[in-house]
Structure 1
């Protein structure tokens, strides 16, 4: 590198000095995994529902009794709980994100150093090897077979060879060779950051759950406005007492608002992030938790996922006498400054055996080529790579196939006429076979059994020899593992046919990075929700396109950068917890959505009927506060965090509506019928409202029972406790006075109970029938 100078006049021989680095602009960019504290506070405090509830709270405090303003505390509770939970998740995410950050190799003061990404500065000399992600823009000053994949930026699939003077952009990654470049744009000036600055701050992938909840909120808001106006008009017109009219109108409007739905959704996501964080699992996009619940196909890369990282040289089998096998192996393995695990294993075995071997021309290893090599002048051209790629026939080919069938990783060391011919049918001579030992992860058996039990189909996709991959799959007991498909024989232009073959087979070998990407696309086209795991640079494109990309913590920086989930402890056994947490979050949010939206629909129906009929609203705000706390608020908090194992299916919004609409309509009808049935000329409004409150509690409590099924011991205890608390509220004089309840008329109480029993039976039938309907 002596004397190399970039076009910007920056001498790259020694890199920057420490003093120059201290004065230069740093590479500080917003984290993608979390938003700022101020953004969290704004999101939880300044909401439309908080505004509406705040105005209604003020009206009650001015014109009504303070007990009817208890619902206002919901604003404070929602905001505080939401902020605390999201800040807790933010801290966990930020802490894990720091651990996940791969250090960057720079040259400063003439020495190679490792620095954190945010410590990279303008003018730094950054060193690159295969698998490294480019965090900043720059100009190449040294290239030794450097190939950069820019497909994440340009969409072009083929790697680009980079030479001195070429520009490189952030967001790309090195796939082969090594080199160095000078940083010319850092921080928010870098190409990738400017391209998607908002996503870099707080990226939210598509989420059916979030979209569904947002739609609920949007449509309910538009319903609340006209119905609320009708209710206010009717209450003011037909009530002599202005305070009572305002109280009745507020009771209806407040009940229509599913104020806790957004909160419970946020809590479920945040708690999921924290729980996974404790298992050293970094969730880089919060909606990824939703994707976890929907996965039905898991694509596994063999190396680094099913097998433990790292390899050991097992044996070298010469095929010809008198060849400098050890020296050639050491020379070829020593070509790359940033060696892959295979080269590291050979280097560890043959240290200092390549003296005098100087390469005139080199071809670095890449997953697409599956070989590397060099021309050593008078010593000839040598290549090292996959036998079934380099060899077409002969003893070496046959022996390598026999070894691969046992699950052994096999490489062929060959002489070649030139570096332009290997792998393309050109003449090469096999000189030796090299076998490497790989260790199957001890947790692989149990983890694969879990996925089989949960109905998740596993596909093993590898760049290795199909027979070797098949042997590993059989050893792990993967169904269909005894039949391996050579990906070189798969169709490139027929996605439908490819999808059929993927559905019919389990193990695939000799898969190129581009094919992995096509595999994901073909499976998605057949309606599958695909998760992809990987640790190498050859997995980057497939990880990005998968519904859920999961990277190993020991994987390449590029892999970890594009994945939505990173297993920082590198444990395959963490995956069941990851999937289980996703299922828990989604299933429980659906449960609490049923609760909140049942309340919304019965309030809408009640408000419409009351507004049209011109009668008093059947209960006061304090009544709805009591009932909602016992049938929705407290139970929803526990149900949102409960374990579950059922795989989630698409169609969140229709399923919730098929439950909440009939349940809400029947609850409203029962409450209004009870209110009218007990009304006599001598009964007071409080007595009539008490009967309506009893009916409201019993019908919504039954909805809670239906939603909490299956009734495990703790769920049965939860719904039972809510019933006991309501009975206590009806029995204690102080509580009766506080909540304005007068359950003194046994006849009225029995009428309310009878109507509730009939309504409960009708709700059970209605939601069961509605659940069988399809949109």
Structure 2
């Protein structure tokens, strides 16, 4: 029933989507649910994750002795600039606006890290440049003491911007940006960003799950480090700036990207390079960002995450969006991802074990012996009791677990040995009931008579109902096929105790489950099978199965118990590891080839975008 398999996997994703929506995650790519379960590294911008992104003016340190003139230049800048970011708004709320005529402008860019305006002031011009000190200090005419002031502010966890006066100088030469050669530092403005009250708890939940956290910010790395101290986030912190990264060799860059956890003054392309480096070194990366400068890194990561208050560009390329900027929802999304993969793994084990078993049986009986293994209605009953009902509830009851390895190889390691033992025992049952002397015995005749009486059918009518040709006096195939179907159903239900062992001794990998619902469901399925098999109207008229006496049922049950023990010992002893290892290796080669093609495709798309 491949259609049911697709339906249940879709249902698995749908349940996860609803659960994630309840926690505040808007899914834009359904496959990201599964991808979240593999995440071992979370890269994030400081803003909106560690902090709330509510920027407030903190203070100003005047460098120019003309404080009144400095305030006027600040008002001219916030009144005329087109770079209406939250820093500008915070400064505007403190100093207010003024009427002025804009002559020229350089808008803020994440690459440049500064913005500038030139406005008319009567018969002259005022030029104001605002930005990050490392990108403008070489043009400063009075740099003395600025580094120390900025370091002190960063140590308090404050972000800072430096205001310069260009004394009316032009901003462009033709179409090229050309700042005045000599810029006078007139003020240093500090901005505070509120630390999230639950930041420590969220970061701790990541570290407890074994997930590496890396903060990649455009702010000063010392500011990010100070915020970590203010939030009392434990752990060793290794810090580096974008300037130092840019000067590194590719080998040193990769090593630093892996070892460092705080990156400051990072340009957009550097953020992308860090994510790409981590991916090349085997990390599964989720990137959380909010601005246009995060778009490239969000797109490069295996899982891209944006916050609701972020730019539209960031949200458009993200796989999921944190509604209301609820960063707490991200650890919960990872948990849901693990739950989805667990449910999908259990569903695949149930379905593939049955499908492989049927394939092997068809190969032997239909192709080699020209015998129909079972009727379509019997196959339906087999699927319903062993797979469909069980898989539906497995989807709902799935628990998060460690799923960092690929799903399919792990599934095949269970499916192949189990399918092989099930096929061997099923064929044994088929042979035993067809040629062991049961057909034609007094027990057999009594069973046939009981079946005719229970459904009020003649012998010929019963033959027709069991789809035995009227001129065929041999019952061997009908009896052996029915016995085999019964065994397959019992064994299929009993495999639940292999997948969800009740104790350590019955666990293949030594890890029992604490959830008793799967075992209870298995017992109910066995009781349902018993009820169906002893109701003649269903057993004969609906499923066309032979009704065996109790002593024959005991043989089927005994065979199922022996099958369980043998399968358990093989799985635990890894007797078929050579076969499963070969299949595992083949799958990994195919997946690796596909991943490489996808990476090359993404790289070519990035080149085209540039």
Give the TM-score taking structure 1 as reference length.
0.62
Q: Which has the larger displacement, 674-683 or 583-592? A: 674-683
Aligned partners of 1:264 and 1:636 also within 8 Å? yes
What is the CA distance between 1:701 and its match in structure 2?
1.8
In structure 2, the CA distance between the partners of 1:723 and 1:575, relative to structure 1 (3 Å rule), is same
Aligned with residue 388 of structure 2, among 618, 621, 633: 633
2:132 equivalent in structure 1: 386
Q: Residues 423 and 370 from structure 1, CA distance in 2 versus in 1: closer, same or farther, beyond 3 angstroms?
A: farther
In the aligned structure 1, how far is the partner of 2:129 from the partner of 2:524? 73
Cα displacement (A) at 1:742? 4.8
When residues 764 and 420 of structure 1 are mapped into structure 2, their CA distance, relative to the original with a 3 A threshold, is farther
696-705 or 583-592: which moved more?
A: 696-705
Q: Distance in 2 between matches of 1:503 and 1:648?
A: 22
Tell me the CA shift for residue 338 of structure 1. 5.4
| Counterpart residue number, 2:16 | 272
Equivalent residues, number = 517
Partner of 2:328, secondary structure, is: helix
Shift of 1:544: 1.3
Query: In structure 2, what is the equivalent of residue 704 of structure 1?
Result: 496
Partners of 1:750 and 1:569 in 2: CA distance: 61
Secondary structure in 2 matching 1:662 = helix
Indicate the residue corresponding to 2:452 in structure 1.
Answer: none
Q: Which residue of 1 aligns with 2:36?
A: 292
Q: Which structure 2 residues correspond to residues 140-155 of structure 1 after superposition, within 5 A?
A: none
1:366 aligns with 2:101: no
Could you say which residue in structure 1 is the equivalent of 2:155?
Answer: 405
Name the CA distance, whole Å, in 2 between partners of 1:698 and 1:678. 16
Q: Over aligned residues, Cα RMSD in angstroms?
A: 2.7
After superposition, residues 349-498 of structure 1 pair within 5 angstroms as 349-352=94-97, 354-355=98-99, 357-376=100-119, 378=124, 380-391=126-137, 393-416=143-166, 418=169, 427-478=182-233, 480=235, 482-491=237-246, 494-498=249-253
Q: How has the CA–CA distance of structure 1 residues 284 and 521 changed in structure 2, closer, same or farther, with 3 Å as cutoff?
A: same
Aligned residue among 334, 343, 356 for 2:88: 343
Per-residue CA deviations over 1:592-631 (Å, capped at 9, x if unaligned) read 1111111111111111111355264454333332232122
Q: Please say if 1:610 is aligned against 2:365.
A: yes
CA shift, 1:481, in A, is: 5.6
**2:539 maps to 1:764:** no
Distance change in 2, residues 1:280/1:623 (3 Å):
same
The equivalent position to 1:301 in structure 2, one of 45, 60, 64, is 45
Select which of 688, 695, 714 maps to 2:480.
688
- Assess if the C-alpha contact under 8 Å between 1:361 and 1:374 holds in 2: yes
Could you say what secondary structure the match of 2:117 adopts?
strand
User: Helix, strand or coil: the match of 2:53?
Assistant: coil
User: Residue 722 of structure 1: which of 510, 518, 525 is its match?
Assistant: 525
Could you report, residue by residue, the CA deviation over 1:245-285 in whole angstroms, capped at 9, with x for unpaired residues?
A: xxxxxxxxxxxx53422222222223333333344432222
- Do the aligned partners of 1:391 and 1:397 also contact (CA within 8 Å) in 2? no
Checking the alignment, whether the CA contact within 8 Å between 1:496 and 1:522 is kept in structure 2 is: no
CA distance 1:533–1:386, change in 2 (3 Å): same
Normalised by the length of structure 2, the TM-score is 0.78
Q: Which moved more, 1:593-602 or 1:757-766?
A: 757-766
User: Contact between 1:299 and 1:459, CA under 8 Å: does it hold in 2?
Assistant: yes
Question: Deviation of residue 517 (structure 1)?
Answer: 0.9
1:743–1:749 CA contact under 8 A, matched in 2:
no
Q: How does 1:172-191 map to 2 (within 5 A)?
A: none
Q: Distance in 2 between matches of 1:764 and 1:336?
A: 72
Give 3-state SS (helix, strand or coil) of 2:26's partner: strand
Q: What is the SS of the residue equivalent to 1:311?
A: strand
Following the alignment from structure 2 to structure 1, what is the Cα–Cα distance between the partners of residues 208 and 289?
22
CA gap 1:475/1:482 in 2 versus in 1, 3 angstroms: farther
Structure 2 gaps of 5+ residues are: 445-474, 502-512, 586-610
Deviation at 1:298, TM superposition (A): 0.8
Q: From the superposition, tell whether residues 441 and 545 of structure 1 become closer, same or farther in structure 2 (CA, over 3 Å).
A: same
Alpha-carbon distance in structure 2 between the residues aligned to 1:448 and 1:437: 21
SS of equivalent to 1:367: coil
Q: Secondary structure at the match of 1:334?
A: helix
Instruction: Summarize the Cα distance change of 1:670–1:310 in structure 2 as closer, same or farther, 3 Å threshold.
Output: same
Q: 1:316 offset after TM fit, Å?
A: 1.2
Moved more, 685-694 or 592-601: 685-694
Change (3 A) 1:419 1:385: farther
1:586-665 equivalences under 5 Å are 586-614=341-369, 616-665=371-420
Unpaired runs of at least 5, structure 1: 1-256
Shift of 1:320: 2.9
Map of 2:556 onto structure 1: 752
In the alignment, is the contact (CA less than 8 A) between 1:260 and 1:596 conserved in 2?
no
- Secondary structure of residue in 2 paired with 1:550: strand
| CA 1:595–1:425: 2 relative to 1, 3 Å | farther
Residues 330 and 351, structure 1, Cα contact 8 Å, conserved in 2: yes
Cα offset, 1:446, TM superposition: 2.5
The correspondence for 1:537, drawn from 275, 292, 299, is: 292
Distance in 2 (alpha carbons) for counterparts of 1:656 and 1:595: 10
The match for 2:456 is none
Q: Distance in 2 between matches of 1:326 and 1:532?
A: 39
Structure 1 residue aligned with 2:264: 509
Measured in 2, the distance between the counterparts of 1:402 and 1:423 equals 31
Instruction: Single out whichever of 302-311 and 475-484 deviates more from structure 2.
Output: 475-484
**2: CA distance, partners of 1:540 / 1:305:** 16
Establish whether residue 580 from structure 1 lines up as the match of residue 323 from structure 2: no
Contact 2:48/2:327 (8 A) holds in 1:
no
Contact 1:473 1:482 in 2 (8 A): no
Q: Secondary structure at the match of 1:369?
A: coil
Taking the aligned partners of 1:293 and 1:492, their CA distance within structure 2 comes to: 35
Cα distance in 2 for residues equivalent to 1:386 and 1:444: 26
In structure 2, relative to structure 1, the CA distance for the partners of 1:495 and 1:587 (3 Å cut) is: farther
Cα distance change, pair 761–615 in 1 and its aligned pair in 2 (3 A): farther
1:513 CA displacement: 0.6
- The CA deviation at 1:573 is 1.2
CA contact (8 A) 2:366 2:373 kept: no
